[in-house]
Amino acid sequence: MSGLRRLRARLRPKTIAGQIALLVVAGIAVAHVVATAAFLMLHESQNPDTLPGVAASRLGVLVRLMDAAEPSVRPALLASGRSLPLIQVEPWDGSVPPGAKSLPDLPVIRKLRYGAGRPVTITDLAMGDPERNRSDARLHIGIVTPTGARLQATLPNDPLRGPRQGALIFTVVFLALTLALLCVWATRALTAPLKRLAGAAEAFGARDDHVALPEAGPREVLAVSRALDRMRSRVRRLIDDRTQMLAAISHDLRTPITRLRLRAEFIEDENARASTLRDLDQMNGLVEAALSFVRDGQIRDANSHSLVDLASVVQTVCDDFSDFGAPVSVSRSRHVLVQGRPEELQRAVTNLVDNAVKYGGCAEVQMEASARGVRVCILDSGPGIPEADREAMLQPFVRGDRARNLNEASGFGLGLSIVQAIVEAHNGRLRLENRPGGGFCASIELPLAAQAFAGRAAQKPAPFPAEAA
C-alpha cells in the first residue's frame, strides 16, 4: 500500500496549475470513456428492423418499385412487401373515408417521400379511428403514385423514439453525476492544503503558534508554508528580544531610581522633596507598567492553560475592590469553567474594573453564560469612549484624554492593551461599547472549557444569543 502511495505522489503534479490541468484532462477522459461505452452499448443492441424511420424508408422504396413496374407485376411486389417489419401493406381501391385529407409533414411522411423519390399522394385513412390522436398511434395511410399504382399501409408514427431511449437518458445522467463527483473530490483534494495553511496562519494571528503547518501539497503551498514558518520564527524572536530588552532596562533603571529616592530624602525643601519623590514614583510606575504589558502580551504556551472557574475569579476581583471601599457590585452567576491562566484572567478583569471605578465612578459586573461561551460585562456610568477612538484606545501608551479626562497620575495607557493581549491569548474577544442610556460597557467573551481546544482551530469566538439576534 505504501508503494502505491509513493507512486501516486510521484506521478501527481507538484504545482497547483498542473493539478488543475490534470483535473480537466481527467474529466474530459472520463466523459469520453463513458460516452464511447454508451454509444457502443446502444449501437450494438440496436436492430435497424425495429426503427420506425427505417420502416418508412423501406415503404418508400416499395412505392417507387410499384410506380415503375407494369400493372401486372404490382400485385407480386405488394405481396413481397408484406414481409417488411413494422409495416402492413394491402391493395387499395382508392376509396377514402369522409373528411379524409392529406397528412401533415410528419417525420415519417418525409422519410417515406424521400424513399419513394417521386411525388406521391398520401391520404390519411384513419380519420374515423378514435385512437387517431394518440402520440404512439400507428399511421393508416393510402398512397397513389404518379403512374396510378395504389396501396394502403400501416406504419409507426414516431421515427425518433428508439427502444433504447431510457438507456440513453440513464447514460447521460450517470455521466453528469460521475463528472460532478470527480470535480467535488478533486476540488477538496486541491484546497485541503490551502485550508490547513489558512488555519495555521489564523492560529498564529490568535497567538497560538503551535499549530502545525502543512508539509504536503502543491509546490506553491509548500513555499508559502515555509515562508510562514520563517515569519513565525522572526516574530517570536522579535517578541523575545523586546521582552529581554525591557527586562534589562527595568533592571538597570531600578537601581538608579532607588539611589535617587534615597538622595531625595535628604532634600531639605519639603516641596522639592515631595515633587522629586512623586516624579520618581511615576518613573517607577512607567517601568513596571511597560514590563507588565510585555509579560502579559507575549505569546503563551497553550499547554500551560488549566481549568479556571471564571465566576470565582470575577468574585475575587470584586471583593478586593469592595474591601477598599470602591463602589463595585457583581451579579451572582453559576460556576463557569474556561481554559486559561487564572492570574492572567484576574489581571484582565482587574484592569477593566479599575478603569470603570476611576473614569465611571462605579463598576457593575455581570456574567452571561450560554451553551457556546461566557461573557463578562463591566458597566460604568462614565462619559464613555467615542466610537472613532475605541480602536486607538487598544494601542499601547494611548490614553483617552478627551473621553476619560485622564491626568498624569491616572495611568500610562497600557490597561486596555494588556487586557486585549490576555483575552486574545485565551481565544476570546474584547468589546468596547457605549451604553444606550449613558455609560460604558467593556466586555470579555471567552469560549467554554469544552470548546477551548476546538476554538483554537476555528479561531473565532462563539456568538452569543443576544448578538445573533
Q: pLDDT for 160-209, tens place per residue?
A: 444 456 666 777 787 788 888 888 888 887 788 888 778 777 777 555 55
If one compares 317 and 227, the residue with the highest pLDDT of the two is: 317
The CA distance from 296 to 306, in Å, is 17
What's this model's pTM, rounded to 2 decimal places? 0.48
Geometric angle at alpha carbon 93, from 89 and 95, rounded to 5°: 105
E strand or H helix at 123, and its extent?
Answer: strand 121-124
DSSP labels for 344-381?
HHHHHHHHHHHHHHHHHS-EEEEEEE-SS-EEEEEEE-
Highest mean pLDDT range out of 298-312, 405-419, 423-437? Answer: 423-437
E strand or H helix at 44, and its extent?
Answer: helix 16-45
Work out the number of other CB atoms within 10 angstroms of the CB of residue 201: 18
| Mean pLDDT of the chain, nearest integer | 77
Range of lowest pLDDT (155-159, 164-168, 310-314, 430-434): 164-168
pLDDT at 457 over 60: no
Share of the chain above pLDDT 70, in %: 75
pLDDT at 264 over 80: yes
* pLDDT tens digits, one per residue of 53-104: 788 888 899 999 998 989 889 899 889 888 888 888 999 888 877 766 666 6
pLDDT of residue 450: 67
Nearest to 355 by CA among 310, 295, 400, 397: 400
Share of the chain above pLDDT 90, in %: 13
pLDDT-based confidence at 118, cuts 50/70/90? confident
* pLDDT tens digits, one per residue of 6-31: 666 666 677 777 778 887 888 788 88
The alpha carbon dihedral of 58, 64, 68, 70 has a sign of positive
Per DSSP bridges, beta strands 139-144 and 328-330 are: unpaired
Nearest to 89 by CA among 108, 101, 76: 76
The alpha carbon dihedral of 359, 364, 365, 367 has a sign of negative
